[in-house]
Structure 1
Amino acid sequence: MSTTALRARRVRGKGAGLGLLAWLLGIAFFLPIAWMALTSFHSEADAATNPPSFAAALTLDGYREFFGAGGGASPWPALINSTVASVVSTLLVLALALPAAYALSINRVRKWTDVLFFFLSTKMLPVVAGLLPIYLFAKNAGMLDNIWLLVILYTSMNLPIAVWMMQSFLAEIPVAVIEAARVDGARLPTVLTRVVAPMALPGIAATALICFIFSWNELLFARVLTGVVAETAPVFLTGFITSQGLFLAKVCAASLVISLPVLAAGFAAQDKLVQGLSLGAVK
């Protein structure tokens, strides 16, 4: 066997090994979700068995109880609050991050690297360290249990990572295209909306998806700063853990329903997400 053939055989063997490892990792990450989905269709008695009974009868009782069929609280207000807080904050983040990233990547300001480091340093503070000052501010401002307070918080929390991501995406846009638009008389708003945004659409979609996921899954601030009116879906989910015990089937049903918007958004934008994350990659 020649050296070239032996080398090609080793490359194929290495590729097959990496492919098998990727499949194993994918299955390992998917198994908890599949287990949660299966448990959500079991009765509480079957869900509490150890080891779990995979051949147990399937039922929708967990979903009926989650949606208030048994006289419990309705999850719709919490789901609507999470949708409003996540979508509005994501739109605000994109509206603020796009011009900021443009100033840091294309039309660079002085000491732009220091600005990026400052944005990154804001994420180094533990979230719990800022909880008390924010709570006191919200209390004195009369904004406790207010969904718009969460919108402001989620916007400020996601803005630094959005600027970092979009700065790397916009840095890949050819400057000649923007200069041509300026020569044609396009002003900054036109350049951002009609030139930069369409070319950086995959990166914008990836940034929007990540900000939406972070906002949807946030629990600490929502738990402390909201009550009944502005309760979000993760806070509503924690209400199923009571002193009377943990109702596993209903918790799994609630977790699956609350996870569906994020899973649906990720599935719908998966092609844009892959393009966006690879667009800002270091070559």
Structure 2
Amino acid sequence: MATTLTTRPTSAAPAQGAIKDREQRRRINSSLLTSLTWIIAFLFFAPVLWLAMTAFKQESDAASSPPKFFFEPTLDQFKHVLDSGAGSYFGNSLIATGVSALLVIILAVPASYALSIRPVKKTQDVLFFFISTKMLPVVAVIMPIYVIAGQLKVLDSIWTLVVLYTAMNLPIAVWMMRSFFQEVPSEVLEAASMDGAGLLKTLRIVLMPMVAPGMAATALICVIFAWNEFFFALNLTAGRAATTPVFLVSQMTSEGLFLAKLSAASVLASLPVVIAGWMAQKQLVRGLSMGAVK
């Protein structure tokens, strides 16, 4: 007597239900993470937004308590800042920042090339020496720098700030550019050598275009550091070579209201760096992410 075995078909409904539940939980988690990200971003941006709003207020509205969120915008504070001689301070900052950033790139490229592509003995010691200069507090060196600048008759000179800003940013630039040069494939250098390209030609034609995003990122960071530098500018300059941070401090007075005027000056002082970052954002992202994905 033959026995026939029948197999009961397995329903796929429970499995599909579990998949739908996982997808729903994933969407909920993604939405929560996105909302949390926007909240954190807003918290970080809120002081900047409040600064920009205060710049368009009258002094009485800026100092009111509780703060006013609805007011009649005005450009009086910007006009007052521009009429108070801010142009010369901004011009000094542009010269000191631009020239020092250019010098940093010119000096950092060959140094980082030598420390990455063609390293020699004691390379790590050299790199440690570069970065160790950033460990010394600035206040510890201001006195000898002031004495030397006074002996050389270069106090209150914009070129003194150029030299100091170059020395201040060069170690960071060398470390950054070295990491970018290390990401260049060795096969590219071997191919250039086989084609008869010399050292300078390889650096100028082959390597420079490949590390251009890294150079842009390094230059922008040097610009930000030099533009925001305050301690050297405050102690080594007076009126002729004072920079934008010194001008911002001068807007604070012991008598009267100054919040709206100070906010307007801060907005104007931030614009060059914001514009530079916006113009170089594509190169900046590429430069900071070099080597992240092979």
Any unmatched runs of 5+ in structure 2? 1-13
Change (3 A) 1:135 1:282: farther
TM-score, with structure 1 as normaliser: 0.93
Determine the structure 2 residue equivalent to 1:186.
197
Q: 8 Å contact 1:165–1:280 — kept in the other structure?
A: no
Write the distance in 2 (CA, Å) between the matches of 1:161 and 1:280: 18
Q: CA deviation at 1:44?
A: 0.7
Any unmatched runs of 5+ in structure 1? none
Report whether the alignment pairs 1:40 with 2:51: no
Larger Rg: 2
Q: Show the 5 A alignment for 1:70-219.
A: 73-219=84-230
- Note the alpha carbon deviations across 1:161-211, whole angstroms, 9 max, x for none: 111111111111111112222222322222222111110111111100000
**What letter corresponds to residue 62 of structure 2 in structure 1?**
A
2:35 to 20, 25, 28: 20
**What letter corresponds to residue 142 of structure 1 in structure 2?**
K
2:77 to 57, 62, 82: 62
Determine the structure 2 residue equivalent to 1:256.
267
Write the distance in 2 (CA, Å) between the matches of 1:239 and 1:103: 44
Q: CA deviation at 1:12?
A: 4.3
TM-score, with structure 2 as normaliser: 0.90
**What letter corresponds to residue 243 of structure 1 in structure 2?**
S
**What letter corresponds to residue 31 of structure 2 in structure 1?**
A
**What letter corresponds to residue 69 of structure 2 in structure 1?**
F
Change (3 A) 1:165 1:8: farther
The count of aligned residue pairs is: 279
Write the distance in 2 (CA, Å) between the matches of 1:280 and 1:77: 41
Q: 8 Å contact 2:109–2:174 — kept in the other structure?
A: yes
User: In structure 2, the residue corresponding to 1:67 is in which secondary structure?
Assistant: helix
Change (3 A) 1:103 1:5: farther
Q: 8 Å contact 1:240–1:246 — kept in the other structure?
A: no
Q: CA deviation at 1:8?
A: 5.1
**What letter corresponds to residue 93 of structure 2 in structure 1?**
S
Determine the structure 2 residue equivalent to 1:232.
243
- Note the alpha carbon deviations across 1:121-152, whole angstroms, 9 max, x for none: 11111111111111111111111000000000
Q: CA deviation at 1:16?
A: 3.3
